[in-house]
Amino acid sequence: MASLRNTGLTAWRTQLRKTFTGNSEVPPAWAEKLDEGDDVGYFPPSSAAWAVHGSMTPLVGGIRALLLQALHPGAMAGVHDFSRYREDPLGRLAGTIQWIFTVTYGSAETAKAGSAWVQRLHQRVTGTYIDSRGDTQPYSAGSPDLLRWVHLAFTDAFLASHLAYGPPIPGGADNYVAEWAQAGRLMGVIDPPESAAELAAQLAAFDDELVCGPQVTEALRYIKRPPLPLSQRFGYRVLFAGAVATLEPRHRDLLGLRVPSLGPIPLPVRTATRLVMFIVRLGLGPEGPSEAAALRRLARLRGTDAEANPPQPGG
């Protein structure tokens, strides 16, 4: 009986890791290469970005970011027309994770190269969409407005999810927003927000442009019920509920979503979400391959003044 339990646990852990690596059973090559480079990168281990992205709250933040980003019809049109989220949702997830972790844990040159790679992919993402007023507009994934919207939605999602379900952020919410502004600059965002108040103000400026159209409704079906292994589906439902609970009411209303409940009894979303994150952490292990590679690079650089002189914002 014990051997059966151990076999089942091993299989679950393997499948869980494959979910986050695009169905690969081994750590991706790009993660292993994060030990390369001659500087700490933009975010040392003491940074707010390292603390947030190295926790389990991005499990919720990633879902919330997809929900929020979908409300901009230009961004949603690009996903609908060019993304393989229907055929290969895990591959799309793995691509997003690659960029986040490359920028968070990589050297400055690695972060720049990773961002440039994404920008090259964006060059072909062009087309037209129907805006909130019913007019046809052109879109480009590299346009200033869409770059800003995606950065804002990402930053807001990861921040809100960590504030709801994670431990304290070093330096607080303002520090995370200010640090992650560097990721926005690497992607071409001009004057990204550098405080929680600026983040909220820039998000609010998009309110009149947001709409929940047929493409959003279609995407919601995939976001609610992605084709995950049976062993992961209940946990994902809890994480989805956790993401919905952190949305601003105006965004939740636009999406036609409600804070989950069990009849007249509120569902303990916070407790359930933290429990699922804890279980996933047990399955994945305390340290991911990206973080481990970054720590190897830092160990190699130890004894120099690299951490005392990280790259400057805008560099």
pLDDT tens profile 36-86 = 999 999 999 999 999 999 999 999 999 999 999 999 999 999 888 887 666
In a domain, 26, yes or no: no
Residue 91 falls inside a structural domain: yes
Q: Per the domain annotation, does 243 fall within a domain?
A: no
Is residue 309 situated within a structural domain?
no
Name the domain count of the chain.
1
Average pLDDT rounded to a whole number, residues 234-246? 93
Kindly state the average pLDDT of the residues 107-119.
95
Could you give the CA distance from residue 33 to residue 270 in angstroms, rounded to a whole number? 36
**Cβ count near 9 (within 10 Å):** 12
Tens digit of each residue's pLDDT (9 = 90 or more) over 271-311: 999 999 999 998 887 778 899 999 999 999 986 544 444 55
Partners of 261 in the β-ladder: 266
pLDDT band for position 263 (cuts 50, 70, 90)? low
Q: How many residues does the chain have?
A: 315
Q: What is the 3-state secondary structure (H, E, C) of the chain?
A: CHHHHHHHHHHHHHHHHHHHCCCCCCCCHHHHHHHCCCCCCCCCCCCHHHHHHCCCCHHHHHHHHHHHHCCCHHHHHHHHHHCCCCCCHHHHHHHHHHHHHHHHHCCHHHHHHHHHHHHHHHCCCEEEEECCCCCEEEEECCCHHHHHHHHHHHHHHHHHHHHHHCCCCCCHHHHHHHHHHHHHHHCCCCCCCCCHHHHHHHHHCCHHHCCCCHHHHHHHHHHHCCCCCHHHHHHHHHHHHHHHHHCCHHHHHHHCCCCCEECCEECCHHHHHHHHHHHHHHHHCCCCHHHHHHHHHHHHHECECCCCCCCCCCC
What average pLDDT does the chain have?
87
Cβ contacts of 205 within 8 Å, gap of 6 or more: none
Flag whether 72 is in a domain.
Answer: yes
For residue 84, count CB atoms less than 10 angstroms from its CB and return exposed for 0-12, middle for 13-18, buried for 19 or more.
exposed
pLDDT exceeding 70 applies to what percent of the chain? 83
User: Is the pLDDT assigned to residue 254 strictly greater than 60?
Assistant: yes
CA distance 279 to 276: 5
Q: Which of 91-95, 166-170, 174-178, 287-291 shows the lowest per-residue confidence on average (mean pLDDT)?
A: 91-95
The range of the structural domain enclosing residue 77 comes to 32-226+287-301
Residue 281 lies in a domain: no
Task: Reply yes or no on whether the pLDDT at 1 is more than 80.
Answer: no
11 is a domain residue: no
Handedness of CA 75, 79, 80, 85 (dihedral sign): negative
Please state the rounded mean pLDDT for residues 164-177.
97
Does residue 9 surpass a pLDDT of 80?
no
In this model, does residue 25 exceed pLDDT 90?
Answer: no
Is 146 inside a domain boundary? yes
Higher pLDDT, residue 66 or 9: 66
Residue 277's alpha-carbon distances to 20, 165, 302, in angstroms, are 14, 9, 32
Residue 278 pLDDT: 94
